Amino acid sequence: MMDTTLARDDRRLRALQRGLPLWLALGAAVALGVTVAADFGAVTGVLGRFRIDLLVPILALTIVNYGLRFGKWTYYLHLIGAPPIGRRENATIFFAGLSMTMTPGKVGEWLKSYLLQIRHGVPFATSAPIIVAERLTDGLAMMLLAMAGLLGNGLGWEILLAVAALGAAIVALSQARTFVTAVLARVSDWPLVGPRTHHLLAFYESSRRLLAPRPLAAAIVVGVVSWGAECFAFYLVLIGLGVSSSIGLVAQSAFVLAVASLAGSLSMLPGGLGVAEGSIAGLLLFLGVTDQVPVAAAATLVIRFATLWFGVAIGTIALATIARRA
């Protein structure tokens, strides 16, 4: 029986690996589309003038983001009462989730909960709320990072309002224990829902712990710092492409990347492809960060490589490592 289960798990992991080339091809098509739309020759010329010495600090800032998010993941595991997991194993599971960024709505990141269940016996319903808490606190952190640009330009308020309203509703529901348990008790006799009531209750109890005031505040602070690192990386990208350095540019970089990332997430498209790229380039031009379309396109390609595709590459290596172990 155990051998059968392991074989099935191995097939599932390898099926996820086989899907990666399709997602990578889709991303390459979007990148090519951005380049062609902005004049292929002009964009490649701008990229050729990029200050390559800035690439290391740009990628280092992305790694800072991943490292802080891994710390938040570890903290969340402690909150739900997960058993001790070796740091290397824990990191492999966390980073494997990055390979699933290219799934619609990032639903593939539930892979982390799946791996916790098959490798360490943590019930899926118990750890799954971590993914929800990660997305929620990251979105709220992005909203805070975008506030300076919002107040200065009045742009993107619809996206930020939607994120704020959704976040408030989820947090309020997570803390309404009496209401939720009463609803679950009422539906416990329903044919389809009843047999799964205990899973729903486990999901809720984990959510309540993760979104309690103190963990929520701590996670948002970590999110502001971690995603702030990527926003500063975008600032360095713009500097590397010849945009004049200023304090205002730091705020604009945070606003553009935060709003574009939120728009990409809300679109539910794989990796936010198309929506995020269009938002980044469009906002750079609209805000006057640059008046050159090729520069805006080049900045979009570089920051997406340094954040999205760099993470997918790390995640793919982690997923391959787990598949070999399986």
- What pLDDT is stored for residue 5 in this prediction? 42
Q: Where are the alpha helices (DSSP H) in the chain?
A: 2-37, 40-48, 55-79, 87-96, 111-120, 124-153, 157-175, 177-187, 197-210, 213-240, 247-267, 275-286, 293-304, 310-325
Quote the mean pLDDT of the chain.
Answer: 82
State the average pLDDT over residues 110-129: 88
The pLDDT confidence band at residue 34, using thresholds 50, 70 and 90, is low
Give the structural domain span for 147.
2-325
The pLDDT confidence band at residue 31, using thresholds 50, 70 and 90, is low
pLDDT of 161 > 50? The answer is yes
Question: Which carries the bigger pLDDT value, residue 137 or residue 149?
Answer: 137
The pLDDT confidence band at residue 41, using thresholds 50, 70 and 90, is confident
* Number of domains present in the structure of the chain: 1
pLDDT of 1 > 50? The answer is no
- What pLDDT is stored for residue 178 in this prediction? 82
Q: How far apart are CA 290 and CA 288, in angstroms?
A: 5
Which tens digit of pLDDT belongs to each residue from 60-110? 999 999 999 999 999 999 999 999 999 999 999 999 988 887 776 666 778
